[in-house]
Amino acid sequence: MKSNIELLDTVALTQDIPQRGLRQGEVGTVVELLAPNAFEVEFSDNDGNSYAEFALAGDQLIVLHNQGRGWKVAA
């Protein structure tokens, strides 16, 4: 399956990763494309300090669209 995740995308976890102390919904940035459907993701606090960085599969992530990209929702 082809992933639409790109370098520097903002992503959120789709599941808890208890061994890393991370919960579903935590937001990170893709900092490296490791292989098809494998991504190095960095998680940072509100001050920009990194608190976790590791490889994740595409099915563990969802891209958070911004700046006009992505779906448009009619109200």
Please report, for the domain that includes residue 35, its CATH number. Answer: 2.30.30
DSSP string, 46-71: TTS-EEEEEEEEGGGEEE---TT-S-
Task: Report the pLDDT value the prediction gives residue 32, as an integer from 0 to 100.
Answer: 97
Task: Report the pLDDT value the prediction gives residue 17, as an integer from 0 to 100.
Answer: 96
In whole angstroms, give the CA distance from residue 4 to residue 33.
12
Report how many domains make up the chain: 1
The separation between the first and the last C-alpha atoms of the chain, rounded to the nearest angstrom, is 32
Q: 36-58 pLDDT, tens per residue?
A: 999 999 999 999 999 999 999 99
Task: Report the pLDDT value the prediction gives residue 47, as an integer from 0 to 100.
Answer: 94
* Domain span holding position 38: 10-63
| Average confidence score pLDDT of the chain | 88
Specify if 55 maps to a domain: yes
The 3-state DSSP composition of the chain as helix, strand, coil percent (nearest 5) reads 10, 45, 50
Q: Which of 45, 59, 48, 55 is nearest to 13 (CA)?
A: 59
Specify if 70 maps to a domain: no
Specify if 73 maps to a domain: no
Q: 1-28 pLDDT, tens per residue?
A: 456 999 999 999 999 999 999 999 999 9
Specify if 75 maps to a domain: no
